[in-house]
Structure 1
Amino acid sequence: MTDHRASFDARITFANGGDLAVHGFRVDLPGPDAAEDEIAALFVASLGLLMTDGVELDNVEIFAEPHKGTRGGPSDRAAQAAPAAGGALVELARPPADGGTCLVAPGGDLTGLPLARTAELPAVVVRVAGAEAREIGVGALAAFDVRGRAVLLHTGAPGGRRLTPEAAAWLAGRGASLVGTDADGLDGLDGVGGSAALDVLLAAGVPVVERLAGLDRLPPTGALFTAAAPLLEGVGRVPVRAFARVPEA
């Protein structure tokens, strides 16, 4: 099979201010038909850029060339160490008086949700608290390896920041096991877009945990997240006690 790469110019803006421009940058591609948004995500992942708000590409050229092992790309085989067992437990559930913490199951039935999707998941904490943008797009996520992980959105506000449907589809397509947020919902409180991001994730079989607390106490990576729910037939949303085990330094 022939490998393909892309060359392009790019300008990145960041949610917490500032920008970055590059010229003639190259990344490995999964195939010759990669779309510009996929190329942009690979670019952000290759540099590990956090809090990316927008990426504009120009002069994009796709050509046949052996992969060089772009970080986060199709030929990246770097093994990531699993979180160590042991360590302190961190409470991540809101008290009932504050609305509690809820898990939403795909298919509206908790009996169909395997424990492997909600218990002892390696956690990735995506910090967007303080960002100027009101939306969480692919750019804010692309720097992270989300496959098999609980992706926890630390927004710092009950209203949170709306996860775009495109970002939800990116998480599902990249194999995220669970998505959590400290906001009251993934789609914000203003009703814009309805429950689009939630619907995308549930349709892809990805459970969602809403109204988390204490995400500021977790490291960006290395913790194990749990929000296991009881086996209730025909029930799709239920209060849970979420927590994380943080390995000792």
Structure 2
Amino acid sequence: MIVELSHRIHEGLVTYPGVPAPRLGLHLSREDSRKVYAPGTEFEIATLTLAANTGTYLDTPHHRYPEGPDLAGVPVDRLADLPGLVVRADGPGRAMRLDTSLDVRGRAVLIHTGWDRHFGTDAYFDGHPYLAPESAAWLAEQGAALVGIDSLNIDDTPPHGERPAHTILLGAGIPLVEHLTNLAALPEEGFRLHAAPPMIAGMGTFPVRAYAVLDG
């Protein structure tokens, strides 16, 4: 069984305040292609203008650190076919603090907050849950392979702009996936995560088609 974990990208989608929405266009319409190809043969070639941080996307270390691996530099085995672990939100407050008895080494750790229910609305941008810095440090120490969250940001987003979870995890070479969805449909264990972007040199972030394959 395959479980979809990505939000749908469409023209006008606002993923994060201040980040421009994607715009769809055409390089070649079906009508114009009829002048190029044989009778009865037609194609459409679309164009897309979007910020790299749109929809469900991957952060590589290059997003935070200029010398860190970019989209083309992170090995695909750090992004695909990873054994997964879902951690559910538990307790009051917005800061997610993880159970340090969990076995996270070599796993994709997905933090399920349920905040994805607000995606596409103004409520998504205010008061979102995030990963506590001490839990980010613990994940780095324990050797998590990838960390994801179904919220606006893995960090709190105060006006002063501090991003400790990004700094810690990307500094440890651990890719991040933000704006996940549908984590409620996953078991806590027993699945493998796939979240690989195109191999684009010189870029640190890009949308992914994240999904989970359940064991058995």
TM score, norm. by length of structure 2: 0.69
1:146 to 104, 111, 115: 104
Name the counterpart of 1:135: 95
Name the counterpart of 2:162: 194
Name the counterpart of 1:121: 82
**Within 5 Å, which residues of 2 pair with 1:95-110?**
95-97=8-10, 99=15, 100-108=55-63, 109-110=70-71
Tell whether the 8 Å contact from 1:160 to 1:182 is kept in structure 2 after alignment: no
Tell whether the 8 Å contact from 1:224 to 1:246 is kept in structure 2 after alignment: yes
Q: Secondary structure at the match of 1:111?
A: coil
1:196-238 CA distances to partner (integer Å, 9 max, x unpaired)? Answer: 1111100110000000011000000011001011111110010
TM score, norm. by length of structure 1: 0.60
Name the counterpart of 1:53: none
Q: How many residues in Structure 1 have an aligned counterpart in Structure 2?
A: 158
4+ residue runs over 2 A deviation: 188-193
**One-letter amino acid matched to 2:88:** R
Q: When you count strand as a share of all residues, which structure comes out higher?
A: 1
User: Cα distance 1:203–1:90, how it changes in 2: closer, same or farther (>3 A)?
Assistant: same
Aligned counterparts of 1:154 and 1:113: Cα–Cα separation in 2: 25
For the pair 1:91 / 2:4, whether they are aligned, the reply is yes
RMSD: 1.7
2:73 to 112, 131, 135: 112
Tell whether the 8 Å contact from 1:151 to 1:180 is kept in structure 2 after alignment: yes
1:142-196 CA distances to partner (integer Å, 9 max, x unpaired)? Answer: 1310000000000111454221222111101101000000001111344577211
2:188 to 211, 216, 220: 220
**One-letter amino acid matched to 1:197:** A
Structure 1 gaps of 5+ residues are 1-87
For the pair 1:168 / 2:123, whether they are aligned, the reply is no
**Within 5 Å, which residues of 2 pair with 1:1-249?**
88-97=1-10, 99=15, 100-108=55-63, 109-128=70-89, 131-137=91-97, 140-157=98-115, 158=124, 160-191=128-159, 194-248=162-216
**One-letter amino acid matched to 1:94:** H
> Quick check: 172-181 or 88-97, which moved more?
88-97
